[in-house]
Amino acid sequence: MLAEASKGGPGAARHARRLSRLAVTFFETLKLPPSELSLTLVRDPAIRKLKQQYFGIDAATDVLSFPAGDSPAPGLRPLGDIVISVDTARRAAREFHTTLELELARYLAHGVLHLLGHDHQTPPEARKMERLERTLLGHAGILARSDELT
């Protein structure tokens, strides 16, 4: 697990260490083979730039996932990269009356599920992904707050 927090602002390194441990728990819950994940915590300007560059959308977002390609080599399975905006997580924590730690955990769970091929483009997909978020977190995830489930 590679976690980079130098661009995430004050306290990001502490959050990155906690999220790295949480990712291992998620992998165990999902019964994944030994896997590798790159996690980067950033501020809104950085995630906005990535969203524009890769998705053509000029807006900040909560989490972006970039799946790795298949690896023919034995050993750790590369899952890909997750980029989380600490700024967006702070705003959501205030808006939903929760903690920054819980918001970051929600974003990590959501990102991991995207790396594993899950999506929420249709209501049935969204419901399945939301159930998996609850399994990983033990409580509601990002999708429970969205209108994508209906």
For the segment 29-52, what is each residue's pLDDT rounded down to a tens digit?
999 888 889 999 999 999 999 999
Quick check: 104 pLDDT over 70? Answer: yes
Q: How far is CA 111 from CA 13, 103, 104, 141, in A?
A: 19, 12, 10, 11
CA dihedral sign, ordered 122, 114, 47, 140: positive
19, amino acid identity: L
Domains and CATH numbers, the chain: 2-118 (3.40.390.30)
pLDDT band at 5 (very low <50, low <70, confident <90, very high): low
What is the CA 90 to chain-centroid distance, rounded? 15
Average pLDDT over residues 74-92: 90
